[in-house]
Structure 1
Amino acid sequence: MDADDSVREYLDAHTPLLLDRLAEWVRIPSVAGVPERKHHLTRSANWLAGELRGAGFPITEIWEGAEGPAVFAEWSGAPGAPTILIYSHHDVRAVKDENWDQTSPFDPVLRDGRLYGRGSSDAKGQVMAHVWGIRAHLDATGRTAPDVNLKLIVEGEEEAGSPGLADLLQAHRARLDADAVVFSDTLLWRAEHPAICTSIRGMLGAHLEVYGPFTDIHSGAVSGAAPNPALELSRLLAQLHDQKGRITFPGFYDDVEEISQRRRAELAALPFDPQDWLERSHTRSIVGEEGYTVLERLWERPALEVIALAAGDPIGVKRAAVPSMASADLSIRTVSGQSVQDVADQVRRWVKETISDGYSYELSLDTETAQEFYRTPDSRVLDSLSTAMTKGFQSQEVGRMGNAGGGPADLLSSALKVPVVFFGTGLVEDNWHDSDESVRVDILKAGAATLAFLWEELGRPD
């Protein structure tokens, strides 16, 4: 039996144990940004540290972050070989239990080839693919340590915007030296057509509050003469995009780089069917900026979404009152050429110039946790990952794609002065941040196999 078959045989034999361990971790409700859940972040970190020790890592540590602990691990048993730092996170998004149909969010269940539960895909499943990829690599090669030197940093506050990651990187800079980062918090294109993510959009959050009356006031007393902040906010939001789907902040597109012919060709090579996309993404229709394909809109063009909206009495008994305040949260995705600081200035100027007289407002921008766009440069690690994915997914072709969301890739690259390469085991149909999140078991295993092959590829002499 060759090494490739040995990796797959090992993972097949240990799939029940892999899923059992992942399910145990998913049961820990390590929700970011919820004070009453904070101690679960510590439990989650300690669970992972123990799992890494069980896999063979001789060094595991817990590093306290701003809002949640990070797990650091190191296994440097291959002198002269490359050193790879693996990045991911163990915190998860908040849940609305009443919206889950397959199971309760933290009561994982295996059904029809999927493991359901919050964090099963984003991103505890991705971390477990690494753990079992290392185990399979050691079993297939007969080595007592991986072919490369491995370090991990699995943070506990990514879903809160990684507010403490920069400080952690600075405080432990010497411990984190590596030749490259493998960033595992991303999606694949399709189960039947794997692709390497080679870019990730930047992200800037904004919160806008518009004020009308000084208090909520009975509409029967003031209707028709009082400023209604819900109407004014609606007017503002309606002007965020023009008729061609372009964002209207002044100067917003001035620094946006045109999509290269190489990138257009990479994205055009991916199989895309509109109906398939609508079904997998659970979206009703396709909208967006004119003149660009769906994949170009997702990965190479900027975007702006309203992700929360509140005014008056959205739940409970209505008081028939004109609300004193209306609020909206915006998520702005930036692309190559843009700076989140410049975009923040554009947002400030737009709101100031666009809001009507008779209203006041407060605008806050999350510049401290904003993330810049990042693109992976060509490198040996990227080439090795492509080879490893061909083996791991048993595919004749591995495409190139992007990530529509954000992440601290630029922060990691700039702080550590190394390239970042992306590899994840998620799919758009895994329902990240939504109800009934799940991970496909076969994709999890293919991801673990890919990682086993990656360490072998990178361990070969140049």
Structure 2
Amino acid sequence: MSDVHDYLAAHRERLVGQLVEWCRVPSVASLPEHGLDVLRSANWLAAALRDLGFPEVEVWDAERAPAVFAQWCAAPGAPTVLVYSHHDVRPAGSGRWEETPPFEPAERDGFVHGRGASDAKGQVLAHLWGLRAHLRDRDAPAVNLKFLVEGEEETGSANLPELLSDPRVQADLVVFTDTMLWRADHPAVCTSVRGTTLAHVEIRGPARDVHSGAVSGPAPNPARELSRVLGLLWDDDGRVTVPGFYDRVLQPSERTRAAYAALPFTEEDWVERTETRAVVGEAGYTVPERLWARPAVEVLTVLAGDPTGPPLGAVPSVAAADLSIRTVADQRVVEVGEQLRQWLAKTVDDRYEHEVSVTDDTAQEAYRTPEDLPELELLVEAAREGFGRPVGRMGNAGGGPAALLAERAGAPVLFFGTGLPEDRWHDSDERVSVDVLLAGAATLAHFWERVGRG
């Protein structure tokens, strides 16, 4: 395997060209006007898999969010691995894209800029090129490979349970590819993802927007009440105040804490790479522990009144907020949603009406890779060769359908992604490091060889 890096370096421009071509397709599943683009994106990937040599490739319809399924099972007696990722992307948003327009991707200074470059089209291409490197002197993979790349992960994977009812997704191992590394110069294998669900809260005051000059003072202002309630969600130590929220949360093991502590970390470096300005959060835990071993609640949006044009000078009738709830292993998202409902019922002033909806249908549970899974150590060894550096262990602050995949595929889940915290996922100027993609592809080439040898 000594020439894996040479092979990938020789094909660098082709990898970049494919990524640029694919990222030109605005596969935004959350916007109906891009429905055809999501199909075009799926067809692009299907063609790339056929060109790679997969004998069976299908585009599965999933209510305007098509997924791609492929399998190459030509290794009797070898393990069967299901690779999961997604090809849909977030909307470009209203932010400033200073490097390039979101769907006019370009390579510059070792990075490919554009929507989907890192999340997650670049990660899928790392798999394709890792497999090409693995196949450079072989007729078929050393393992039985299946790919399932869905087209609606960014909207909650509503149709994924139905897709996973197909018996062909059964496997001995799942490789989940929609996660991050720690640093380009200090990679770390991800061993967990947090669970996730969303909550929408509305507080109502007057029956309609009312001129503030007529009612200012005695009128119930839902924006003020929403602000008060949101401020009560956390105490002075950064802990969520919802009763029962931490009841199922287990303390991170000493092994886990030691692994996180071994990662190179300074607050200055973290703030610079993530552009977060400062470090806040739950007292008593390091930043890595807050990210990967502790649950969190975040306010994503707040809206009251008319946000466009000059102020209308009216007390708004409704104020609303969207909350993101991140859970950890042993918590249950349905229970946490109900805890939030009960807390709001007791906390919102009874002179206001309120309503809360929690997206239970697209909620995802937390998942942790078993520490004694043999393939985990094989992946660490492969990453050490792929990146040419020591490899740590980390978690993923976001969520994903890992628990569902483990249940439906009947197999444990490993995580491997090529994103970095500074890749600006979901924001303007998303990008991916080409060197990291190549190192990730080399990692996967080494990994398939190791898994095939057993």
TM tier, smaller: over 0.9
Distance 2:95 2:251 in 1: 44
Amino acid at match of 1:118: R
Amino acid at match of 1:25: W
Q: 1:394 aligns with which of 376, 388, 403?
A: 388
* Superposed displacement of residue 254, structure 1: 1.1
2:160 maps to what in 1?
165
Amino acid at match of 2:388: Q
Distance 1:321 1:231 in 2: 13
* Superposed displacement of residue 148, structure 1: 0.7
Pairs within 5 Å for 1:16-415: 16-96=13-93, 98-139=95-136, 142-170=137-165, 172=166, 174-377=167-370, 378-395=372-389, 397-415=390-408
Count of aligned positions: 453
Distance 1:380 1:146 in 2: 20
Distance 2:94 2:80 in 1: 41
Distance 1:394 1:135 in 2: 20
Do the aligned residues in 2 keep the contact of 1:66 with 1:163 (CA within 8 Å)?
no
Post-superposition CA distance 1:315-347 (Å, at most 9, x none) = 212110111101000001001221111101100
Post-superposition CA distance 1:340-395 (Å, at most 9, x none) = 11101100101100000211111110011111110001212111111110110011
Q: Show structure 1 runs of 4+ deviating over 4 A.
A: none
Give unpaired runs (5+ residues) of structure 1. none
Post-superposition CA distance 1:292-328 (Å, at most 9, x none) = 0111000000111000111112221211011110100
Do the aligned residues in 2 keep the contact of 1:97 with 1:105 (CA within 8 Å)?
no
Q: Secondary structure at the match of 2:427?
A: coil
2:439 maps to what in 1?
446
Distance 1:182 1:418 in 2: 10
Give unpaired runs (5+ residues) of structure 2. none
Closer, same or farther: CA 366–67 of 1 in aligned 2, 3 Å: farther
Do the aligned residues in 2 keep the contact of 1:198 with 1:400 (CA within 8 Å)?
yes
Q: Secondary structure at the match of 2:361?
A: coil
Do the aligned residues in 2 keep the contact of 1:26 with 1:117 (CA within 8 Å)?
yes
Distance 2:228 2:63 in 1: 37
Closer, same or farther: CA 67–251 of 1 in aligned 2, 3 Å: farther
Q: Secondary structure at the match of 1:246?
A: coil
Do the aligned residues in 2 keep the contact of 1:69 with 1:156 (CA within 8 Å)?
yes
Distance 2:345 2:288 in 1: 33
Do the aligned residues in 1 keep the contact of 2:170 with 2:410 (CA within 8 Å)?
no
Structure 1 vs Structure 2 CA RMSD:
0.9
* Superposed displacement of residue 98, structure 1: 4.9
Do the aligned residues in 2 keep the contact of 1:67 with 1:163 (CA within 8 Å)?
no
Do the aligned residues in 1 keep the contact of 2:130 with 2:441 (CA within 8 Å)?
yes
* Superposed displacement of residue 35, structure 1: 0.8
Q: Secondary structure at the match of 2:164?
A: helix
Do the aligned residues in 2 keep the contact of 1:85 with 1:181 (CA within 8 Å)?
yes
Closer, same or farther: CA 421–440 of 1 in aligned 2, 3 Å: same
* Superposed displacement of residue 66, structure 1: 4.0
Do the aligned residues in 2 keep the contact of 1:33 with 1:67 (CA within 8 Å)?
no
